[in-house]
Amino acid sequence: MMDGAFIWETFLRLIVALRVTLSVWALSVFFGAFIAAGVAWMRGSGVKPVEWVARAYVFVFRGAPLLVQLFVVYYGLASFPAVRASIFWSFLRDAFNCATLSCALCTAAYQSEIFRGALAGVPHGQIEAARACGMSGFLLFRRVIFPIALRQALPAYSTEVISMVKATALVSLVTLWDVMSVALKIRNDTLVTYTPLLVAGAIYFVVNYLIARAFIFIEQWLSPHLRARSA
């Protein structure tokens, strides 16, 4: 198990797979953010049918396990001849596209809830004061609501971003070989039980640690007045 050559070989194979993990992750988080902003806006729009659609979206994509979502997007859609004949097929045919799309839709649901919570957590007094000063509409959003909401959203947002790194471990269901899947494959081929998992774990840990530190840095940069609060 502690065979150095094996560990190194495993490590190299997993680093190659890291590219898959990070690309699916980065693209899905990025596009998911835009979808989430849209959904959060719909949710707060005040127009009942629009709100309802947003709520249904969040319900389905947060409630169903990502595994099921991946399955439906990749295999489910492909089983309809109508889909295969349509213009979407050249996009949906590819496993990477499907996986990224599915992950984006999933993270968007979670992200929209984070946005919603952050927006609701903006102290009403601040908004009133801004309105009293004559701010409204986009200026109000840009100057008052967004900065405060952003700071409040950061802890939960970093959670979600890191969750997505680990969620990519499911994409082997749709034939993409990410770090975790390759580790499990090595495990099945060689029957060495813990080493591939430990190496994979180390890689995930480092990646996630770096992301977490990046968020802490952003948090501290944005909130100098909130540092070192004691209970």
Partner 1 sequence: MNRRSVLGAALTCSLLVVAGAASAKDWKTVVIGMEGAYEPYNLTDPSGKIVGFEPDLAMDVCARIKIECKIIAQDWDGMIPGLQAGKFDVIMDGMSITDDRKKQIDFSTAYANVPAALATAKTSPLAKLAGAGKLINFDKDKAGGAATLKALKEALKGKTIGVQVSTTHATFAGDNLKDVATIKEYKTTDERDLDLKSGRIDAVLDDETAIAAMLGKDDAKDFTEFGPHLTGGDFGVGVGMGIRKSDADLTAKFDKAIKAAFADGSIKKYSLKWFKIDTTP
Partner 2 sequence: MAWTTALGFGERGWGPALLEGAVLTLLVSIAGLAIGAVLGSLVAWSKLSGVRVAAAIGEGYAAIFRGLPELLVVYFVYFGSSAALTGLDHLFGGQGFLGVPGFVAGALAVGVISGSYQAEVFRGAFLAIAKGELEAARAVGMGRWLSFHRIIAPQVLRFALPGLGNLWQVALKDSSLISVTGLSELMRTSQVAAGSTHQPFTFYVAGGALYLALTSISDRVFEFAEARATRGMRREAH
Residue numbers at the binding site for partner 1 (CB under 8 A):
75, 78-79, 84, 93, 95, 172-173, 175, 177, 184-185, 187-194
Q: Which two tokens stand for residue 27?
A: 């693209």
Site membership for partner 2, residue 75 (CB under 8 A): yes
Q: Which stretch binds partner 2 (CB under 8 A): 11-19, 31-39, 91-99, 107-115?
A: 107-115
Tell me, by CB under 8 A, how many residues bind partner 2. Answer: 58
**Rounded Cα gap, residues 41 and 193, in angstroms:** 47
Which distant-in-sequence residues (6+ apart) come within 8 Å of 87 by Cβ? Answer: none
User: For the chain, what's the residue count?
Assistant: 231
**Rounded Cα gap, residues 176 and 31, in angstroms:** 19
CB of 178 to partner 2, least distance (A): 10
47 binds, among partner 1, partner 2, none (CB under 5 to 8 A by kind): none
Q: 184 to each of 103, 130, 188, how far by Cα in Å?
A: 21, 55, 6
Residue placing its CB nearer to partner 1 in the complex, 35 or 103: 103
Draw the binding track, 111-130, toward partner 2 (x: CB under 8 A; -: no contact): --xx-xx-xxxxxx--x---
Residue placing its CB nearer to partner 2 in the complex, 85 or 228: 228
Site membership for partner 2, residue 187 (CB under 8 A): no
Q: Which two tokens stand for residue 62?
A: 């947060």
Q: Which stretch binds partner 2 (CB under 8 A): 9-17, 64-72, 80-88, 96-104?
A: 64-72
Residue placing its CB nearer to partner 1 in the complex, 151 or 187: 187
CB of 116 to partner 2, least distance (A): 7
Q: Which two tokens stand for residue 75?
A: 């295999």
* Contact between residue 204 and residue 158 where contact means Cβ atoms under 8 Å apart: no
End-to-end Cα separation, the chain, in angstroms: 47
Q: Which stretch binds partner 2 (CB under 8 A): 12-20, 30-38, 91-99, 149-157?
A: 149-157
E-strand spans in 43-146? none
